[in-house]
Amino acid sequence: MKPLKWWQSAVFYQVYPRSFADGNNDGIGDFKGITEKLDYLLELGIDAIWLSPHFPSPNWDCGYDISDYCGVAPEYGSLDDFKTFLREAHTRQIRVILDLVLNHTSDEHPWFIESKSSRDNPKADWYVWLDSPRPAGAGGVMAPPNNWQSCFDGDAWTYVPERDQYYYHYFMKQQPDLNWRNPEVKKAMWDAARFWLELGVDGFRLDAIGTIYEDPALTPHAVPMNLAQLRHFSETAQTPKEIKLREKYWHDMFHNQWGQPGLHELMKELRAILDEYPGDRMLVGEDDDIAYMGNGEDELNLVFNFPLMHTPATLTPAHIRKNQKERLARLKKLPKGGWACNTFGNHDSSRAYTRFGDKTHAAERARLTLATVLTLPGTPFLYNGEEIGMTDLIITDPSKLRDTMATWYHQSLINDLKVDAAEAAQRAGEMTRDKNRTPMQWSNVANGGFCAKNVEPWLPVNPNYAAGVNVKDQRNDPMSLFNYYKRLLHLRKSTPALVAGKYTPLEIQAKDYLAFTRRVESQTVLVILNFSDKRLKLDLSKSIGAAALHIIFSSAGRSRTLENPAEIHLGAFEVHIAELK
Ligand code: NOJ
C-alpha cells in the first residue's frame, strides 16, 4: 500500500471564526482568539483546521460574500495576525485549509462595483449580465430573464439601472455570480488562491462548486411555486406523496443552475495549480459527487460524504452500512483510487447532538456518532463545539437573527404567505443556520466565557453552558464528552488499522449494532457500535475466528482485557473497539 498523504490520515476540525474564540472581547471571534486556542486543539487531538471564510465581507452571508480575496476581515485581525496564526498552527504540526468561494463575490467587491457601473467598463463581462427578454418602455416594468430562483432569497435576477440589465445570483442578491467563462475572472481567482498558497496554507475547502456554471440556454424551471412557497410547502409536507413531491420540486427548481458542463476542466486547472506547490496541498469540495475527484488524482482530493449525515431520522446501523457499501464501491472504481471523507456537522446544518439525539439518549448517541466518523474508512471532519456536545439554539427573537437567509424567510412568511407573527418567528428560528453557529462555550461564566458579561456576543450564547456544556467543566471531568473525544482521537492516531485499514462489514443483518473490521498488514481491529438501549451478547467467532480479542477502547469503561469472540458483551450504546490477536 502507498504511504498515506497527510490529508488521508488527518482529522480535520472546522473552525467558524466568528464564533470560535474572541481574543479582544468585542463579541466576535478573531485570529488572536484562535491562536490562543491552538494548544486546546492540540490537546483535543486534531491534525488540521478548516477555517471558514476570514476575508473582508459585508457579512450578508456570514463571510461567504467576500469583498477582498487577499485580505483579512478587520474584526478578525490583520494579515499579520493571520500569518502568526498559521505559523503557530504549523509549529504544532496542525495544518490549515481555507475556504475558497469561487462561484460568487460580494456585491461590494470592487470587481462588481466596476462591473455594474456600465456596459462597457473593463470588468463589464466579469459577472453574469442579461437583458430583459421584454423591451422596457411604455412604462413597463422590466421582467427578469427567466423564472430561476436564488436558493436563498427569491428571484435569481436583480436589476441594475446603470446597465439596464439583470445580474444573476444563485445565492443572495448580495452575492453576484462570477462569469467563469471569462478567462480574466479565472486568472484573478487563481491569483487569489496562489496568494494564500504562497503564504503556506495547506489547501482549500471549495464552496458550492456545483453552482459555478448555469445552463446557457436559460431553460426555465417548471415548479408551480416560488422559493418562499416551496420552503413553506417543504416544512408543512406530511403525506408520503407530499414528501416525494417536495424532493422533486427542490431538484426541478434548481437543476438548470448547477452541475453544468465545464466544472471538471475547472477543477483540473485548480488541482494543477496546487500541485505546483510542495507539501501535498489539498482540495476538498463542498459536494458529495465523487465525479469531482476525476480519475482519483487529477481533480479534488476529497468530497464530503453528505449522504451519511443526511438521514431522515437518527443514525442507524442499516443506514451507515448501506451508505458505506455504495460510497466505497464508487470510490474503488476511480482509476487511481479514491479516499472517503466523512462528517456529521458543519456551519450549515443542525448540530449532530440535536439531530441524532433523542430526549433520553443524546449523550450516548453523540459518542456513537463520533465513533462512527472516527472508525469508518476516510478522513473525518469535525465541527467546532461538537466535542462538548453543543446543541442547536432556537432563536425566536427575529431581531437577533444574523443569517440573512432566515431574515428574508421570516419576512416572506409574514408579508407574502400571511403566516402569523409567532409562527413565522418559530419557523425562521428553526430553519436558520444561526442555531448551529452560536459562540463556543469555554466555561461556566457569563456568555460561556466567549466574551465578558457586559459585551454582547454577535449571536446569543446557548445558556446550556451553565449546565456543563462548556470546555472548562468537561476538561475536569474524566467521564465528559470532551475527554471521550480526546481518548478516541488519540486512539485513532496510535491505531494504524483505524486510519488505513480495509473495511469489512460483519453481521450485515443486525438491526441494533454495527460491526466491522479494519485491517492493515500489521493489525486487525474489530469495531462494534451498539446503537440500541439493550445489552447485547454476541458470538462473532464465525466471522472473525476464535483468536482472542484485546479490547483497546470501550465507552463502558472496560479495561484492557482479553475477550472471547464467541461471547462478546456490550452495554447499551457501547462503543467497543478491539484488536484481533
Ligand atoms: C455554502 C456555504 O457552506 C454556505 O454557508 C454559504 O451560505 C453558501 N455556500 C454560499 O456561499
| Confidence grade of residue 138 (pLDDT, cut at 50, 70, 90) | low
Which atom of ligand 1 is nearest to 171's Cα?
10
**What is the rounded average pLDDT of the residues 220-243?**
91
Q: Is residue 58 part of a domain?
A: yes
What percent of the residues of the chain are helix, what percent strand, and what percent coil, each to the nearest 5?
A: 35, 15, 45
In the set 61, 107, 177, 207, the catalytic residue is 207
At 135 the pLDDT is 60
**What is the rounded average pLDDT of the residues 53-76?**
98
| Confidence grade of residue 300 (pLDDT, cut at 50, 70, 90) | very high
**What is the rounded average pLDDT of the residues 411-432?**
94
**DSSP-based three-state secondary structure for 105:** coil
At 284 the pLDDT is 98
Residues 328 and 472 in one domain: yes
332-334-338 Cα angle (round to 5):
65
Residues 333 and 379 in one domain: yes
- Tally the domains of the chain: 3
Q: Is pLDDT at 546 greater than 80 in this prediction? A: yes
At 136 the pLDDT is 56
Cβ–ligand 1 contact at 207 (below 6 Å): yes
Distance (Å, whole) CA 234 – CA 254: 15
Residues 205 and 77 in one domain: yes
The residue nearest atom 10 of ligand 1, judged by CA position, is 64
| Å from CA of 81 to ligand 1 middle | 25
At 134 the pLDDT is 66
Q: Is residue 551 part of a domain?
A: yes
223/236: higher pLDDT: 223
Supply the CATH number for residue 310's domain: 3.20.20.80
At 132 the pLDDT is 84
| Å from CA of 207 to ligand 1 middle | 6
- Starting at the edge strand found earlier in the chain, the sheet holding 379-383 runs 302-303, 282-285, 203-207, 95-101, 48-51, 12-15, 379-383, 341-343
Cβ–ligand 1 contact at 419 (below 6 Å): no
| Confidence grade of residue 358 (pLDDT, cut at 50, 70, 90) | confident
Q: Is pLDDT at 142 greater than 90 in this prediction? A: no
Residues 56 and 135 in one domain: no
Chain centre distance of CA 277 = 26
| Confidence grade of residue 312 (pLDDT, cut at 50, 70, 90) | confident
Cβ–ligand 1 contact at 64 (below 6 Å): yes
Q: Is residue 301 part of a domain?
A: yes
Per-residue pLDDT tens digits for 282-295 = 999 999 999 999 99
Pocket test for ligand 1, best of 59, 169, 348 (most atoms within 8 A of CB): 348
**What is the rounded average pLDDT of the residues 20-28?**
98
Q: Is pLDDT at 137 greater than 70 in this prediction? A: no
In the set 286, 299, 364, 392, the catalytic residue is 286
| Å from CA of 229 to ligand 1 middle | 22
Supply the CATH number for residue 525's domain: 2.60.40.1180
At 313 the pLDDT is 82
- 225-229, 308-312, 528-532, 558-562: which range is least confident on average? 558-562
Q: Which stretch of DSSP H or E encloses residue 149? A: strand 149-150
Q: Is residue 425 part of a domain?
A: no
For 444, the grid coordinates are 461556566
Q: Is pLDDT at 22 greater than 60 in this prediction? A: yes
At 141 the pLDDT is 66
Residues 283 and 194 in one domain: yes
Residues 203 and 275 in one domain: yes
Residues 159 and 187 in one domain: no
Q: Is pLDDT at 154 greater than 90 in this prediction? A: no
**What is the rounded average pLDDT of the residues 333-341?**
97
**DSSP-based three-state secondary structure for 569:** strand
Residues 98 and 207 in one domain: yes
Mean pLDDT rounded to a whole number for the chain: 96
Supply the CATH number for residue 138's domain: 3.90.400.10
Per-residue pLDDT tens digits for 377-409 = 999 999 999 999 999 999 999 999 999 999 999
At 552 the pLDDT is 95
Residue 147's domain spans which residues?
110-168
**What is the rounded average pLDDT of the residues 146-175?**
95
The residue nearest atom 11 of ligand 1, judged by CA position, is 64
Cβ–ligand 1 contact at 50 (below 6 Å): no
Q: At a CB cut-off of 8 Å and minimum separation 6, what does 438 contact? A: 19, 390, 393, 459, 460, 461, 462
Residues 341 and 273 in one domain: yes
Q: Is residue 242 part of a domain?
A: no
Q: Is residue 399 part of a domain?
A: no
Residues 32 and 158 in one domain: no
Among the listed residues 262, 133, 155, 145, the one whose alpha carbon sits nearest the alpha carbon of residue 209: 262
Provide DSSP, 35-90. Answer: HHTHHHHHHHT--EEEEPP-S----TTTTSS-S-TTS--GGG--HHHHHHHHHHHH
Q: Using a pLDDT cut of 90, give the percent of the chain over it.
A: 91
Residues 295 and 324 in one domain: yes
Residues 132 and 208 in one domain: no
